[in-house]
Amino acid sequence: MKPFLPATLILSALLVTPAAAHPCDGDAIDRATPLLQLHFEDPQADVGVSDEVRELAPIKALKGSGRFDVLEVWGYIYKAEYRMRFIYAQIPDSCVLMGQEILEASDPY
C-alpha cells in the first residue's frame, strides 16, 4: 500500500491545481456582448455573457504554419443560449483577434 501513497498525493495535487487563465480571457469576455448585440436585431435585448472562458485546442492558420488559440464564451439573449468562439493569434503579450463565430445552441428540427 505504501508505494501508492506518493502517486496518490501527486495525482490529487494535479486535480486540485487550477488551470492558468489565458491572457486574452478578459478580451474575449469584453467582445462577447457586442457580438451578441450584432447578431440580434433588437438593440434593447436583454443580453448576458458568462464570465467563464474555456480554452479549446489551437487550430491551424489558413495560411502559413502558424496556429491560433481558441477561446469559448457562452452568452444569453432572453432564453436563447449562444456559443461564441474567439480566435487569437499566438503573439506573446498581445491579444490579436483573427476571427470569431457565434452559434445558437438550439435544435431547429
The DSSP code for 19 is P
The whole-model pTM stands at 0.78
Q: What would the pLDDT profile of 34-80 be if each residue is shown by its tens digit?
A: 999 888 887 778 899 999 999 999 999 999 999 999 999 999 998 88
- The grid coordinates of residue 83 equal 456559443
Residue 78, CA atoms < 13 Å, CB-side half-sphere: 8
Domains of the chain in sequence order: 20-104 (3.10.450)
Q: Rounded to whole angstroms, how far apart are CA atoms 29 and 2?
A: 47
Q: Where are the beta strands (DSSP E) in the chain?
A: 47-49, 54-60, 67-77, 80-89, 97-104
- The grid coordinates of residue 26 equal 478578459
